[in-house]
Chains A and B, each alone.
Chain A
Amino acid sequence: MARVDVQGLSVTYEGVDRRVGALNALDLAIADGEPIAIIGPSGCGKSTLLLAVAGLVAPTSGSVRVGGEPVAGPRLHTALILQDFGLLPWKTVMHNAALGLEIRHVPAPERARRVAEALARVGLAEFAGAYPGELSGGMRQRLAVARALALEADLLLMDEPLSALDALTREDLQGLLLDIWRQRGHTSVLVTHSIEEAVYLGRRVVVLTPRPGRVAAIVENPEMGDDDFRDTPAFYERCAELRRLLAAEGAFGEGAS
C-alpha cells in the first residue's frame, strides 16, 4: 500500500549566504495506485517535492507519509527515476538494474531472476552485458524503468524522466510507462514540463505555483489511460485548460501571465 500524504510541507534550503524557500506549506494526497502528474514553473520546487517523498530531503516543517508511515529515509519499495545520472556508467546494464537489490542485500539468485524479468519487460534482455555508454537515450531510460521494476516498487517517483529524449522516443516511452502502470497499478508521481505528457500519464494533474511552490490547482483527468485518449477532443481541451492555468502562474516567463 502506497498512498502518499503530504501535509503542510515546507522545505527551505540553507545556501551559503541566503536561504531559498523551495516549498511552502504544500498539501497533497495521492491515493494508493493513483497516477499523478505534477507540472509547474521552472524552479518552483517540483524536484524538491519528489525528493521529500523519496526521503532524501527532510521537511523544514510539515510531514510526508507514505503508506501511512512517516518518511524518515529511503523506503524499500519506493523507486526514483531521474532525467540524467540515475545510471552508473561503470556498471553494466544488468548491474545497473540490480543495484537497488544489491544495496538491499537481496540474495543473488532472486536478484538475477528479478533483473532478468525486468530487463525483458522493457526490451533490454539482449543488452544485459552492455554499458550505459553503449545505449541510446531511450534505452537508458528503459533501463532506469527496469531498475524500478526489479525493486518491485509500489511507489514510482519520476523527475522529468523523458525530457532529454527526442519526440518519437519520448512517445514510445510514455506508452511503456502507461502500459506498466496499467499492468502493475503502482502509485505513480510524474514531474514533467510537458503539458501533453502530464495529461497522458496523470489521472490528476497538479499545478504548482512559482517558488516557493504550493498547489495552485488540480485538474481531474478521468479519461487518462483510455485507449486512443491522445486523439480525442477531451485530450486537447485538457491540455488547453492546463496551458491557461500555467500561464496564470507565470510559467511561460515574465509578462506572459
Chain B
Amino acid sequence: MRAAVRKIVGYAGAVAILLAGWQVLAMIVDSSALPGPAPALQTFGSLFFAALLPEAVVSAWRVVVSMALGTALAVPLGLVLGRSPRIDAVAAPLIFLTYPVPKIVFLPVLLVLFGIGSVPKIVLITLIVFFQILVTARDAARAIPPGSVLSVRSLGAGGAQVFRHVVVPAALPDVFTALRISTGTAIAVLFFSESIAGTDGIGYYIIDAWSRIAYRDMFAGIIAMAVLGVVLYELLEMAEARVCRWTRVGR
C-alpha cells in the first residue's frame, strides 16, 4: 500500500517536472509549432473523444497485436535455439546476419504487397519485435545453470517438463525487459509507418494535422501517442510484477 502511494507521488512529481520543463521550452522557442502545456492539454481534452480516441484505438490495436504476435513467435523459437546446440548451429548464422538489418527499410515493399491498411504496419512491427525477443530468449535460455536442469531431470522430468519448470520461467524476466524496451521502438515504427502511408491511426492524425498547419491538433496527437507508449510500458511492468513475483522478493 505504502509502495503504491510512493509510486503515485513519484509519478506526480515527474509529471510536474515535465510540465514545467515543457512550459519553459515553449516560452523559449516561442513558436506556434510548440504550444505550451496549457493550450496543448486543453486541445487534447476537447479533441479526445471526437478525434483522438478512435485513432488511438486503431494505433493501440496495431501495436498490441504486433507485439503479441512477435513475442508468441519469438519466445518458443528463441528458447529452443538456446537449449539445442544442434538447431542453434544452423539458425544462429541466419539470425546474426538478419538481426542487424534495419527492418524498417522493407516498409515500401510491405506497402506494395499489403496495401496501406493495418497489415503492412503489423508485419513490420512484428518483425522488429520478433528479432529483439528472439535474441533475448535465446541468450536467456543459454545462460540457465546446468545444475538447475540436472536437478529437475533427476526428479524424472522429460524435455517438455524441463521447459515448463525451468527454461520458460528462467527466461521470463529477460523477455519482459526486452518487451518493455521494444515498446519504444514499436511505437516509433508505428508512427513512421502510419505517417508514411495510411488513412488512420494517431501517426496519420499527427501528420495530417501538420499538413493542415493545425499545430494544436498536431500536438494533441503527439500527446496521445506519448500516452499510448507510457500506458503500454506500464501495463508490461504490471504484468511482469505479477508473472515474475520471485524477482521482487528478498530485497
Complex CA–CA separation, A170 to B156 (angstroms)? 28
Contacts between chains A and B (CB distance < 8 A), count: 72
B150 at the interface (CB under 8 A from A): yes
Contact A99 B154, CB 8 Å, known A84-B147, A86-B147, A90-B246: no
Binds B, one of A61-69, A74-82, A110-118: A74-82
Chain B, Cβ-Cβ closest to A135: B250
Provide the residues of chain A in CB contact with B157, threshold 8 Å: 103
Which positions 149-178 of chain B face chain A at CB distance < 8 Å? Answer: 150-157, 161, 165-166, 169-170, 172
A151 to B157, CA, bound (A): 14
Cβ contact within 8 Å between B150 and A104 = no
Tell me the count of chain A residues lying within 8 A, CB to CB, of chain B: 30
Measured in the bound complex, the distance between the Cα atoms of B173 and A90 in whole Å is 10
Those of A90-109 within 8 Å (CB) of chain B: 90-91, 99-100, 103-104
Q: How many residues of B contact A (CB 8 A)?
A: 23
- A88 and B165 contact, Cβ closer than 8 Å, known pairs A56-B150, A131-B249: yes
- Tell me, yes or no, whether A70 is within 8 Å of chain B by CB: no
Contacts of A73 in B (CB 8 A): 156
* Overall SS of chain A's interface: loop
Complex Cα distance, B154 from A151, in Å, reads 12
In this assembly, does A89 line the interface, its C-beta being within 8 Å of a C-beta of chain B?
A: yes
- Which residues of chain B from 108 to 141 have a CB within 8 Å of any chain A CB? none
| 6 A-B pairs with least C-beta separation | A85-B147, A133-B250, A80-B154, A100-B155, A90-B169, A86-B151
Sampled A-B contacts (29; CB under 8 Å): A51-B150, A73-B156, A74-B155, A80-B151, A80-B154, A82-B151, A84-B147, A85-B146, A85-B148, A86-B147, A88-B148, A88-B165, A90-B169, A90-B244, A91-B169, A91-B246, A99-B152, A99-B155, A100-B156, A103-B156, A103-B157, A103-B161, A103-B165, A104-B155, A130-B249, A131-B246, A132-B246, A133-B246, A133-B249
Chain A residues proximal to chain B, CB less than 8 Å: 51, 54-56, 73-74, 76, 78-80, 82, 84-91, 99-100, 103-104, 130-134, 147, 151
